[in-house]
Structure 1
Amino acid sequence: MTLLRLSHAELHFGTQVILDNLDLTIAKGERLGLLGRNGVGKTTLFRALTGEQQLDGGERWLDPTVKLARLEQELPIEGDATVFDWVAGGLDEVGELLVAYAELLGAETDADLARMASIQQALDTHDGWSLQNRVETTLSQLGLDGQAKLQDLSGGWRRRVALARALVSEPDVLLLDEPTNHLDIPTIIWLEQQLQTFSGAIVLITHDRRFLQAIANRIGELDRGLLTLWEGSYRDFLKHRAEQLAAEATANALFDKKLAQEEAWIRQGIKARRTRNEGRVRRLKALREDRAARRSQVGKASISLENATLSGKLVADVKDASVAYDERPIITGVNTIIQRGDRVGIVGRNGAGKTTLIKMLLGDIEPSTGQVKTGTKLQVAYSDQLRGHLDPNGTLIDNICGGQEFIEIDGKKRHAIGYLGDFLFSPDRVRAPTKVLSGGERNRAILAKLFTQPANLLVLDEPTNDLDIETLELLEEVLLEFSGTVVLVSHDRDFMDRVVTSLLVIDEYGNVEEQAGNFSDWEARGGTLLSTVDEARSVTKAAKQSHQLQTKTHQIDNNGHQSKEQHAAKSAPQKRKLSYKEQRELDELPELIASLEEQQAELESKTGSANFFNGDPTEVGKTLEQLTQVGESLDNALERLIELEG
């Protein structure tokens, strides 16, 4: 069943062809992964699918009964809208009712109470309470505080809000543009699970290859306005495309040989002043036209690093180190030795202290306890320090090459346009203001600027965000060939698998553990990243399952006989009978645990904010103290639940 279709779509931006007679049909149950280089027009194609981008030619058709939702790139940052309000707005009329109901909570006037009763009746009619639960569950899974104001959130957290709004609407067609950006690994895994059971169609742009493999059942590759479609998963696409490119290379070689023979024939014919075969001349003309129309592969990116002198063998030696803020621990138990040539990946949920760990390793902040010894002759290039250093009104030549025509890279003089061309920037693009670049192009620009700095220690904080897969794979090759040391933070599991030689894993309590090997090696040994909320829920679930099993052991099968489990239960020591007070406590514990989980999620959302530790020290300390107290209360409640149900 066709839900959405583009037919003969044409779109040009000046001389750049974005869509060239493009046909695309989205059917029910389809999961299309859209690939293509940064700046090729993938996001513009999304806008054409939603109807936001008017076509120069062709037609867009959407089934009038179909609901479409897109992960929005920009959210309002002004006004008093809360996260809950904005996310619930994705539910259309019911969302408006939920927002209005929330605003009336605590109403005292007769008019407000009457309106509240009317809204409540409408919500009852439209199953509004289950939809409210859907909103709250989604916010919890994404670590969002429903009462937070949009204007107070960083860009990364606003992106999570946009994702929540798209998910709660449960549309027939869901368009997701880089949905894993700014998410931590546990949340990405949760999102994978949600999308795998999603009943609608999905169109997806992502650089995360493992995520793409888990979701897509069809791949589309956009290149200079043309869309090539491939059935199957991402791995199927890689295999079939390699086979096709090899076949095309063979066919092109035979074609070029034939063309060369015909060109030689016609030159010889002219030299001998013989009457030429006009039919053969026409065929030669056709061959020339076919050769001119051939679409060659676009040149590949070519990244080189500005190598510095070798550092000392020791890069960092950390013993029993911890970092605390206002006497509250952020990271604890750090013990590691980083040597020249190591490639260390740092993983942990958002807000776990990854940036704090990097700054401690670099010596930018002193450990509260323990010791950090940094090596000698270190020259550090840190990607995160460059993000705010691109002048949006300046060109790439201004930003990266200081406005100079030439730049020195690894001891060699390079033309600025040639160097930027290595990062797939065309001559026209390097002279455009940086503010018009796509997200992936800006990230490539940061890498281009980073690699102009002589370095023997590279520190990369989420370097894969918005990069196209081709540039990402090239970055992997460069890092593998780099003679210095690499420390990186990434949510991209495939990237970590290909690059790192060891991990520093930060758990939900700030404990840091060193692990040999890459991310998959650690997973194979049973490693996993859970938020505190997830862990508490798993314990609660285990306790409930234990209670259900004990209840089941008292049941009799249809033949009137006890099962083996029942017999074992009968032989085992009998569970003591609870007092009235204990039974009442047991009945109230699930509600208490749910309330504590909600409080914990809200506090973790606050502490995970990018600007949290830049706030008022008193408020920061108070929030951290609250988080600790809530965590302890939750642990005690869970232990008591298991004890009473035991």
Structure 2
Amino acid sequence: MAAPILAFENLGIIQGSGWLFRGLDIHIQPRDRLALIGRNGAGKTTLLKLIAGAVDADEGRRTIQPGTRVVLLEQEPDLRQRATLLDYVLHGDDAPLPYEADAIADQLGIDLSREAASASGGERRRAAIVRALAMDPDVLLLDEPTNHLDIAAIDWLEDWLSRFRGAFIAISHDRTFLTRLTKQTLWLDRGAIRRAEIGFGGFEAWTEQVYADEARNAERLDAKLKLEEHWLLRGVTGRRKRNQGRLTKLHEMRATRAAMMGPPGTANLSIGTDDARTKMVIDVKAVSKSFGDRPIIKDLTLRVMRGDRIGIVGANGAGKTTLLKLLTGELAPDSGHIRLAKTLDRIVIDQQRSLMAPEKTVREVLADGGDWIEVQGIKKHIIGYLKEFLFEPGLVDAQVGTLSGGERSRLLLAREFARPSNLLVLDEPTNDLDLETLDLLQEVIGDYDGTVLIVSHDRDFLDRTVTITLGLDGSGTVDVVAGGYEDWEKRRRLKVSGGKRPNPRKVEPTAPPAPKVKLSYKDQRDYDLLPKRIEEIEAAIKRDEALLADPTLYARDFAKFERLTKAIETAREEKDAAEMRWLELAEQVEALT
């Protein structure tokens, strides 16, 4: 193995009253493609700044080969002292050459003469990318590089990085981006760092193995994980497995919607049954919308049914926001007709996270300063509800301004999902979320009873959540595809190729498959009976939560309060175990079909 071009030994840094991390050993090889993974607050951004030399470590030694150029693409570039985006790109002694910056700006489609103060998030992100790439780095450090980028810009950046001859480390919530580009993984976890010579595609299998080994070691030593670690690890691993189970249900929903739709890009309006009419949420017939001479939406016909998860994708400026406003009734079409169900009660979660007042506490945001919150009509204790959204109990009285961007986003989701609604509108919901929170959001959307409209550039997230994708190409045409982003991308590729499907590759002969084995009697019985048992447990939890919601119970009958609290906790553990068991069996059943 070649000598590393940059390395840390025994790296440590103090944050607040203690060590954020300590004793880290890191080495970077000349062509490394590293994914840096960790929960929000684990110190990923701080670690990138340490590697870049932007901040000093409290202990440890940094070594770097002479002449090595390390460039950091920050998540929030500081443009406050710059008149234009070009001024930002070319500032400093280490600024790139103007002609190199211009070349990259042309490819990214960014006008660097734009005033910095009025630039959008996407324009600021593009300017930061131009500066970083034009500086000709040997080591490129990327902090959420796809935030605020549209699909076309993400594709361009992926292509550039695939040809990059240096090393890079990327923090990103974009699973598709990491899976396509990375070949090694750094996992920052509970103050320690692990490295695996696998790309992000193998990360979840690796972490599951690590957690399993830790659990076995804990049992062998007759010890238990700390309570907060226990619920976190169990919640993370359980959530991933449950979400894998949800994908099976999602594919069934997509197949059902595909059967209801006519030729590609249209909706089948012949399904005029009474059941279909009662389930209809948004009815769009021959709708068009233009701004000046430019058509934004042309002749769109679509039926949105109760329970649909609609993803809206396309380049910036293609008309995603316009389409969203049309579907929610905020904007009237130039022609055609849009009819919304009279009972729609919507929640809108925008990408600005504008409702989070920094001076308020978590308790004030969620429960108006109290101990209880009403979640979809059911009262829950704020501590238990926070755990569902991956918060440690000690943060209940923390001010919003002290939370990380991801934690603020999680808090907003917790508050908004508590409200009763039947239409959820999400505008770039994945910005600032770590991978575990994305798993959580996927789970919440999967369990949501109403209809969901999602504008997002996160391809993997759309593939895991939506039943229908509305793809905009900027010409006014809207492709209506039963499926996720990948299904829409296949449709795009087919259109570009003129409808010709590529010739199938030659497949080498393989050994005959092993005979499939049926489930054992016990496994089959569990598979058949567990769904009913899970429903019974859920009903018991709701019953006990309703009793616990009595505000006088704590003072009037503390023993009963404790008994109910313990019963709910035990029931939730039993429900988790039952769900995990059923999902494992469901995977076996799927393999047998």
> Which TM-score applies when normalising by structure 1?
0.66
AA matched with 2:87 = D
Q: Which residue of 1 is the match for residue 506 of structure 2?
A: none
Q: Which residue of 2 is the match for residue 165 of structure 1?
A: 131
5 Å matches for 1:599-638?
A: none
Q: Which residue of 1 is the match for residue 536 of structure 2?
A: none
Q: How far did residue 94 of structure 1 move?
A: 5.8
Q: Which residue of 2 is the match for residue 42 of structure 1?
A: 44
Does structure 1 residue 473 correspond to structure 2 residue 439?
yes
Q: Which residue of 2 is the match for residue 206 of structure 1?
A: 172
5 Å matches for 1:179-328?
A: 179-256=145-222, 298-299=232-233, 300=235, 312-326=278-292, 328=294
Q: How many residues align?
A: 458
Give the Cα separation in 2 of the matches to 1:179 and 1:185.
Answer: 13
> CA distance change for structure 1 residues 385 and 519 in 2, over 3 Å: closer, same or farther?
closer
- Structure 2 gap segments, 5+ residues each: 240-276, 498-593
**Of 3, 7, 10, the match for 1:8:** 10
Q: Which residue of 1 is the match for residue 543 of structure 2?
A: none
Give the Cα separation in 2 of the matches to 1:194 and 1:524.
Answer: 22
Paired residue secondary structure (1:61):
strand
Q: Which residue of 1 is the match for residue 476 of structure 2?
A: 510
**Of 449, 458, 465, the match for 1:492:** 458
Does structure 1 residue 338 correspond to structure 2 residue 340?
no
> CA distance change for structure 1 residues 41 and 408 in 2, over 3 Å: closer, same or farther?
same
AA matched with 2:298 = T
AA matched with 2:347 = A
Q: How far did residue 221 of structure 1 move?
A: 1.1
AA matched with 1:506 = L
> CA distance change for structure 1 residues 90 and 191 in 2, over 3 Å: closer, same or farther?
farther
> CA distance change for structure 1 residues 529 and 349 in 2, over 3 Å: closer, same or farther?
farther
Give the Cα separation in 2 of the matches to 1:14 and 1:80.
Answer: 32
Q: How far did residue 449 of structure 1 move?
A: 2.0
Q: Which residue of 1 is the match for residue 111 of structure 2?
A: 145
Paired residue secondary structure (2:418):
coil
Which stretch shifts more, 407-416 or 370-379? 407-416
Does structure 1 residue 87 correspond to structure 2 residue 89?
yes
Give the Cα separation in 2 of the matches to 1:211 and 1:14.
Answer: 33
The superposition leaves residues 421-468 of structure 1 with CA deviations (integer Å, 9 ceiling, x where unpaired) of 322223443333322322211221221122122111111111111211
The superposition leaves residues 60-87 of structure 1 with CA deviations (integer Å, 9 ceiling, x where unpaired) of 2233311111112344444563223322
Give the Cα separation in 2 of the matches to 1:504 and 1:372.
Answer: 16
> CA distance change for structure 1 residues 437 and 294 in 2, over 3 Å: closer, same or farther?
closer
> CA distance change for structure 1 residues 419 and 22 in 2, over 3 Å: closer, same or farther?
same
Q: Which residue of 1 is the match for residue 401 of structure 2?
A: 435
The superposition leaves residues 291-314 of structure 1 with CA deviations (integer Å, 9 ceiling, x where unpaired) of 8899867343699xxxxxxx9511
Give the Cα separation in 2 of the matches to 1:407 and 1:25.
Answer: 47
CA contact (8 A) 1:320 1:333 kept: yes
Q: Name the % identity.
A: 42
Q: Which residue of 2 is the match for residue 70 of structure 1?
A: 72
Q: How far did residue 520 of structure 1 move?
A: 1.4
CA contact (8 A) 1:73 1:162 kept: no
CA contact (8 A) 1:386 1:446 kept: no
AA matched with 1:241 = T
CA contact (8 A) 2:7 2:26 kept: yes
Paired residue secondary structure (2:479):
strand
CA contact (8 A) 1:80 1:150 kept: yes
AA matched with 1:319 = K
AA matched with 2:22 = D
CA contact (8 A) 1:219 1:233 kept: yes
5 Å matches for 1:66-145?
A: 66-78=68-80, 81-89=83-91, 92=94, 95=97, 98=98, 132=99, 134-145=100-111
Give the Cα separation in 2 of the matches to 1:428 and 1:59.
Answer: 34
> CA distance change for structure 1 residues 21 and 155 in 2, over 3 Å: closer, same or farther?
same
> CA distance change for structure 1 residues 229 and 317 in 2, over 3 Å: closer, same or farther?
same
5 Å matches for 1:591-606?
A: none
Give the Cα separation in 1 of the matches to 2:175 and 2:206.
Answer: 16
Q: How far did residue 197 of structure 1 move?
A: 0.8
CA contact (8 A) 2:50 2:57 kept: yes
Give the Cα separation in 2 of the matches to 1:241 and 1:72.
Answer: 27
Q: How far did residue 52 of structure 1 move?
A: 2.3
Q: Which residue of 1 is the match for residue 430 of structure 2?
A: 464
Does structure 1 residue 175 correspond to structure 2 residue 141?
yes
Q: How far did residue 357 of structure 1 move?
A: 0.9
The superposition leaves residues 210-253 of structure 1 with CA deviations (integer Å, 9 ceiling, x where unpaired) of 11011111111111210111111112232333334334434443
Q: Which residue of 1 is the match for residue 577 of structure 2?
A: none
Which stretch shifts more, 384-393 or 19-28? 384-393
Give the Cα separation in 2 of the matches to 1:529 and 1:26.
Answer: 42
Give the Cα separation in 2 of the matches to 1:157 and 1:491.
Answer: 15
Q: Which residue of 1 is the match for residue 488 of structure 2?
A: 522
The superposition leaves residues 33-84 of structure 1 with CA deviations (integer Å, 9 ceiling, x where unpaired) of 0111111111111111122222222222233311111112344444563223
The superposition leaves residues 181-210 of structure 1 with CA deviations (integer Å, 9 ceiling, x where unpaired) of 111112111111111111111011011111
Give the Cα separation in 2 of the matches to 1:232 and 1:492.
Answer: 22
AA matched with 1:451 = F
CA contact (8 A) 1:5 1:61 kept: yes
> CA distance change for structure 1 residues 90 and 455 in 2, over 3 Å: closer, same or farther?
farther
Give the Cα separation in 1 of the matches to 2:106 and 2:476.
Answer: 20
Does structure 1 residue 354 correspond to structure 2 residue 320?
yes
Give the Cα separation in 1 of the matches to 2:78 and 2:192.
Answer: 34
Give the Cα separation in 2 of the matches to 1:34 and 1:232.
Answer: 12
AA matched with 1:73 = Q
Q: How far did residue 137 of structure 1 move?
A: 2.9
Q: How far did residue 527 of structure 1 move?
A: 4.0
Give the Cα separation in 2 of the matches to 1:293 and 1:317.
Answer: 49
Give the Cα separation in 2 of the matches to 1:353 and 1:361.
Answer: 12
CA contact (8 A) 1:141 1:187 kept: no
Does structure 1 residue 19 correspond to structure 2 residue 24?
no
> CA distance change for structure 1 residues 320 and 527 in 2, over 3 Å: closer, same or farther?
farther
AA matched with 1:395 = T
CA contact (8 A) 1:6 1:59 kept: yes
Q: How far did residue 91 of structure 1 move?
A: 8.4
Give the Cα separation in 2 of the matches to 1:359 and 1:216.
Answer: 37
> CA distance change for structure 1 residues 80 and 54 in 2, over 3 Å: closer, same or farther?
closer
Give the Cα separation in 2 of the matches to 1:385 and 1:72.
Answer: 19
Q: Which residue of 2 is the match for residue 412 of structure 1?
A: 378
5 Å matches for 1:359-374?
A: 359-374=325-340
Paired residue secondary structure (2:5):
strand
Paired residue secondary structure (2:300):
strand
AA matched with 1:20 = R
Q: Which residue of 2 is the match for residue 483 of structure 1?
A: 449
Paired residue secondary structure (2:60):
strand
The superposition leaves residues 575-618 of structure 1 with CA deviations (integer Å, 9 ceiling, x where unpaired) of xxxxxxxxxxxxxxxxxxxxxxxxxxxxxxxxxxxxxxxxxxxx
Give the Cα separation in 2 of the matches to 1:417 and 1:462.
Answer: 28
Q: How far did residue 529 of structure 1 move?
A: 11
Q: How far did residue 478 of structure 1 move?
A: 2.2
CA contact (8 A) 1:312 1:378 kept: no
- Structure 1 gap segments, 5+ residues each: 99-131, 257-287, 304-310, 536-646
Q: Which residue of 1 is the match for residue 417 of structure 2?
A: 451
CA contact (8 A) 1:380 1:455 kept: yes
Give the Cα separation in 2 of the matches to 1:528 and 1:392.
Answer: 48
AA matched with 1:315 = V
The superposition leaves residues 365-401 of structure 1 with CA deviations (integer Å, 9 ceiling, x where unpaired) of 1112111111131111111187211112222222333
